[in-house]
């Protein structure tokens, strides 16, 4: 299959391209689209055959459900039923934006989207082009991240091309994704909302909006093979470069010493904060950074891109630095990076 890449300059300038993307989606095809979080691999959420194509293009396990994207508050009632008060509050506060809510699914959503679950994940993205494409398609769009299963989520069209070229008919290039990590996922089907995946909307913001929110333990812990999980995505390793990643926890000084001590017999890369970079000058170690520790949003924005850059090379080990988990965006960074490291770490 030939993949067409369309660079968007503006809603007006590329009006015809949005119509074409919408038509492909109407006709049961898959199109990669930009969103404010990461790129998505979209198909008509009401069409089971179209949705199956997403799983095929990604190599995604069939038991991992997709997020349904809408471009209007009114569309929520088409995809979900029995919407609780807290979901309405969260939608008013954070939609459009990087928040996905788990709700009871409507009969219109086929089991292919939800992997047979009685619940559906719904998100109203804020990205102008994502909204324009949903509108052009005229239906809600099921879309996981547009990476091959197991690779880091794509935050630029180049990442999507790498993974999806030849597998789908069209990629819409809307530039770099602002947030850089996938949306926050919150389950609203019980009495107390449960955070299933931290993301752009933080735990602090969620609690400010609806009071008590519990945090699924598996956000910061490894899942064993035989374990039941609240969100199927938690079972999969995800986000991993091909070389082994080990989290290096401790002060900067101790980290520099550790790398110095280990450099002699190993081909080492480090993924560190911008503030630490100069300390490794001339040391013979490959240095990658993903933003300033003092600006966690920058770290979130740069993480997946850095993991993809690391994946271009082979190292004996990649030592990665991460911020402390809190109730802000750092929780999401720690969640993604810990999983990229398969939870292995050294405490310095
Ligand atoms: O930011 C995002 O959320 C991006 C963009 C494209 O919108 N999408 C995304 O999709 O990250 P994906 O498929 O890579 O991640 C969806 C996560 C998975 O971990 C999946 O298991 C979980 O949401 N999920 C989907 N439906 C669910 C449900 N009914 N119950 C529990 N978890 C669900
Ligand atoms: Mg994904």
pLDDT tens per residue across span 313-334: 999 999 999 999 999 999 999 9
**Ligand 1, atom 15: nearest CA belongs to which residue?**
144
Give tens-digit pLDDT for 281-299.
999 999 999 999 999 999 9
Residue 169 shares a structural domain with residue 301: no
Are 256 and 155 found together in one domain?
no
Q: Give the chain's domain count.
A: 2
Do 215 and 270 lie in a common domain? Answer: no
**Ligand 1 first shell, C-beta below 6 A:** 35, 37-38, 40, 64-67, 100, 102, 114, 117, 119-121, 123, 143-145, 182-183, 185, 196, 231-233
Give the closest residue (by CA) to ligand 1 atom 32. 231
Predicted local distance difference test score (pLDDT) of residue 237: 63
pLDDT of residue 109: 98
pLDDT at residue 238, as a whole number: 64
| Whether residue 325 sits in one domain with residue 182 | no
Q: Has residue 105 been placed in a domain? A: yes
Spacing of C-alpha 284 from chain mean position: 33
Closest atom of ligand 1 to 33 CA is 6
In a shared domain, residues 35 and 171: yes
For residues 242 and 311, the answer to whether their CB atoms sit within 8 Å is yes
| Interval 130-154: pLDDT, tens | 999 999 999 999 999 999 998 899 9
Least confident range of 112-121, 262-271, 330-339: 262-271
Q: Is the pLDDT of residue 240 over 90?
A: no
pLDDT band at 213 (very low <50, low <70, confident <90, very high): very high
Give tens-digit pLDDT for 152-161: 999 999 999 9
Residues near ion ligand 2 (Cβ under 5 Å): 145
Question: What is the CATH number for 21?
Answer: 3.90.870.10
297 φ, ψ to 5°? -65, -35
Do 183 and 306 belong together in one domain?
no
Is the full-model pTM beyond 0.95? yes
**86 and 213 belong to one structural domain:** yes
What is the distance in A from the centroid of ligand 2 to the CA of 41?
Answer: 10
313 and 259 in a common domain = yes
CATH number at residue 252: 3.40.50.11030
Domain assignment of residue 182, yes or no? yes
Kindly give, in sequence order, each residue whose CB lies less than 8 Å from that of residue 280, ignoring residues fewer than 6 positions away.
256, 259, 270, 272, 287
Which ligand is in closest contact with the Cα of 144? 1
Rounded to the nearest angstrom, the gap between the alpha carbon of residue 134 and the centroid of all alpha carbons in its chain is: 19
Is 227 a domain residue? no
Q: What is the CA radius of gyration of the chain?
A: 20
Cis peptide bond prior to 206, omega within 30° of 0: no
If you average pLDDT over every residue of the chain, what do you get?
A: 96
Residue 267 and residue 202 share a domain: no
Per the structure, the complete domain to which residue 125 belongs is given by 4-220
The answer to whether residue 228 sits within a structural domain is no
**pLDDT tens-place string over residues 81-98:** 999 999 999 999 999 999
């Amino acid at each position: 299959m030939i993949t067409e890449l369309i660079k968007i300059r503006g809603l007006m300038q590329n009006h015809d391209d949005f119509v074409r993307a919408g038509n492909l989606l109407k006709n049961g095809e898959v199109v990669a689209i930009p969103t404010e979080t990461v790129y998505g691999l979209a198909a008509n959420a009401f069409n089971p055959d179209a949705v199956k194509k997403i799983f095929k293009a990604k190599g995604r396990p069939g038991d991992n459900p997709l997020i349904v994207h809408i471009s209007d508050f009114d569309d929520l009632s088409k995809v979900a039923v029995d919407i609780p008060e807290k979901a309405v509050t969260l939608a008013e506060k954070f939609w459009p934006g990087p928040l996905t809510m788990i709700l009871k699914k409507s009969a219109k959503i086929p089991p292919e989207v939800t992997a047979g679950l009685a619940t559906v994940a719904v998100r109203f993205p804020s990205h102008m082009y994502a909204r324009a494409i949903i509108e052009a398609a005229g239906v809600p769009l099921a879309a996981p991240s547009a990476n091959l299963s197991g690779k880091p989520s794509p935050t630029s069209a180049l990442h999507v091309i790498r993974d999806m070229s030849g597998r789908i008919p069209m990629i819409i290039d809307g530039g770099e994704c602002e947030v850089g990590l996938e949306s926050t996922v919150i389950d609203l089907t019980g009495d107390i909302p449960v955070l299933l995946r931290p993301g752009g909307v933080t735990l602090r913001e969620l609690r400010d909006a609806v009071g008590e929110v519990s945090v699924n333990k598996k956000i910061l812990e490894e899942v064993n093979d035989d374990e039941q999980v609240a969100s199927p995505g938690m079972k999969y390793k995800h986000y991993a470069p091909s070389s082994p990643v080990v989290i290096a926890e401790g002060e900067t000084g101790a980290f520099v010493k550790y790398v110095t001590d280990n450099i002699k017999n190993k081909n080492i890369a480090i993924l560190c904060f911008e503030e630490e970079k100069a300390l490794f000058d001339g040391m013979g170690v490959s240095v990658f950074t993903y933003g300033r520790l003092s600006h966690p949003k920058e770290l979130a924005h740069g993480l997946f891109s850095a993991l993809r850059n690391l994946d271009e090379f082979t190292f004996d080990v990649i030592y990665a630095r991460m911020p402390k988990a809190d109730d802000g965006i750092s929780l999401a960074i720690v969640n993604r990076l810990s999983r990229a490291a398969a939870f292995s770490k050294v405490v310095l």
